[in-house]
Amino acid sequence: MQELTHYINGEHVKGTSGRFADVYNPATGEVQAKCPLASADELAQAVEVAAAAQPAWGAVNPQRRARVMMEFVRLLNRDMDKLAEALSREHGKTFPDAKGDVQRGLEVVEYCIGAPQLLKGEFTDSAGPGIDMYSMRQPLGVSAGITPFNFPAMIPMWMFAPAIACGNAFILKPSERDPSVPLMLAELMEEAGLPKGILQVVNGDKEAVDAILDHPVIQSIGFVGSTPIAEYIYGRGCSNGKRVQCFGGAKNHMIIMPDADMDQAADALVGAGYGAAGERCMAISVAVPVGDETADRLIEKLVPRIEALKVGPYTAGDDVDYGPVVTAAAKEKILGLVQSGVDQGAELVVDGRDFKLQGYEDGFFVGPHLFDRVTPDMDIYQQEIFGPVLSCVRAASYEEALGLAMDHEMGNGTAIFTRDGDAARDFANRINIGMVGVNVPIPVPLAYHTFGGWKKSAFGDLNQHGPDAFKFYTRTKTVTARWPSGIKEGGEFNFKAMD
């Protein structure tokens, strides 16, 4: 069985803690590798190396740092299939979905090629008599990122690419459930010309996370995961004087107005609700049709589409709509919440509890589920299921539908499907959620905008990627300079006045 490593100072380093996590093939349920779980001492070793390497990298001009990013983009395109295959094998998502994971991370790297422009400061000539004033953005030093299992390529690149483009060194603590792709990305960054020690991968669990939170050299921390862990990391990191951005859970609502194109809305819900087995923080998990007639038409459209979904291993290629969930524990949690929905009175219209895939009986596959007549007091409405489960909550009016999304404690993403421009404009302006789609089910902004939710979906003042990333990973220094004049009356230059 393969034993994975950490990546420190440009070398694959075996774990020394004696602790390991199992890495599964979600399609078969078999353990395919062991992932080392770092001790605080191992994390400290990586930080020491990063701190020693960072000053020289921070002194490299932004244009040369951007060239490393340019070469990294080329290598990502070269190895796209290799990365996607490794990602699918550990995560379980389909091969096209895995390639999309890599691609969305690559797009942020492309944005970071603009570092010379993005890091420019401001200048004021003659702010006072003989006084100029200017600002500059300087790297923080050593930054760290704690990333989730569901996007093992994209989210690490959302963090380390801007951090490194800004001149920082970066410690990546990826999910121990699918750690191979982050290790491959670190290798590619060094192949692209990044000096050793600037990007390091330390695998681990809570011990490594706490070591990151408490290490005095680490200046900033990024996190994506569940809301309870986001709150913990944000509180402990901030109390230690670090700059922290944390992104937590989601319960994304899609409102379907009576005038919506119902075929378009149903197709959008199937893709947004069941793609990647629902293991996306931007997945639509709550459909809110306005009016019973709208709800009946929507359910009629959804049922045959959901029943036609093909579930299988990534090796089946394009013939599969989604794959297994990541672990047996994830499957158990999803099915437990489905049962709670039944017990609490929701109508299970499509029941995937008995789904079995011949030849893959031990895999972590979950069939698609559709609930109707869900109410806000139910567990399946309150909790993030993170699985292929869509809940339909009927609203009597637009205002009731709007209130459902606004009153939920999560505020990551939302969408409205309508032909009415006035309704769409009102929704976009009033909704208290960070990312809004109008006839777009998964409104993930492109790399040159920023990604981030509101309420208990995000903690911190700045979002991920886009301009906010270059603010998060730098400090602004403002200089006020006065140079005494060396020019005498009559135009003769007085060199002594400049001594």
DSSP string for 409-465: SEESEEEEE-S-HHHHHHHHHH---SEEEES-SS-PPPTTS-B--EETTEESSS-BS
Q: Tell me: pLDDT of 289 over 70.
A: yes
Does residue 166 have an active-site annotation?
A: no
Q: Return the closest-CA partner of residue 161 out of 131, 137, 194.
A: 194
The whole-number pLDDT of residue 319 equals: 87
- Assess whether 109 and 195 both reside in one domain: yes
pLDDT for the residue 498:
45
Tokens of 207: 């011990």
Q: Is residue 444 part of a domain?
A: no
Q: What's the confidence (pLDDT) of residue 488?
A: 59
The token pair that represents 220 in the structure block: 């900033």
Name the band, by pLDDT with cuts 50, 70 and 90, for residue 490. low
What the block records as the tokens of 196 is 């050793």
Is 490 part of a structural domain of the chain? no
Summarised one tens digit per residue, pLDDT across range 418-434 is 999 999 999 999 999 99
Kindly report, residue by residue over 93-116, the tens digit of the pLDDT.
999 999 999 999 999 999 999 999
Q: Is 146 helix (H, G, I), strand (E, B) or coil?
A: strand
User: Phi, psi at residue 466, to the nearest 5°?
Assistant: 65, -165
> Over the stretch 138-180, which tens digit does the pLDDT of each residue have?
999 999 999 999 999 999 999 999 999 999 999 999 999 999 9
Say if residue 214 is in the same domain as residue 335: no
Q: Kindly state whether residues 67 and 196 are assigned to the same domain.
A: yes
pLDDT per position as a tens digit, 450-471: 999 999 999 999 999 999 999 9
Q: What is the pTM of this model?
A: 0.94
Residue with tokens 């017990």, as numbered in its chain: 343
Residues 6+ apart with CB under 8 A from 468: 450, 452, 462
Average pLDDT of 20-31? 97
**Domain with 354 in it:** 252-438
> In terms of domains, do 421 and 473 share one?
no
Residues 300 and 218 in one domain: no
* CATH number, position 394: 3.40.309.10
Instruction: Categorize the per-residue pLDDT at 495 as very low, low, confident or very high, splitting at 50, 70 and 90.
Output: low
**Domain end marker among 438, 457, 490:** 438
- Which CATH number do you get for residue 153? 3.40.605.10
Please choose, from the candidates 162, 118, 254, 253, the residue with its C-alpha nearest in 3D space to the C-alpha of residue 451.
162
Q: How many CB atoms lie within 10 A of CB 240?
A: 15
Please tell me whether residues 232 and 285 are part of one structural domain: no
- Which residue among 35, 166, 281, 392 is the active-site one? 281
What's the total number of domains in the chain?
A: 2
Q: Does any domain span residue 488?
A: no
What percent of the chain shows pLDDT beyond 90? Answer: 95
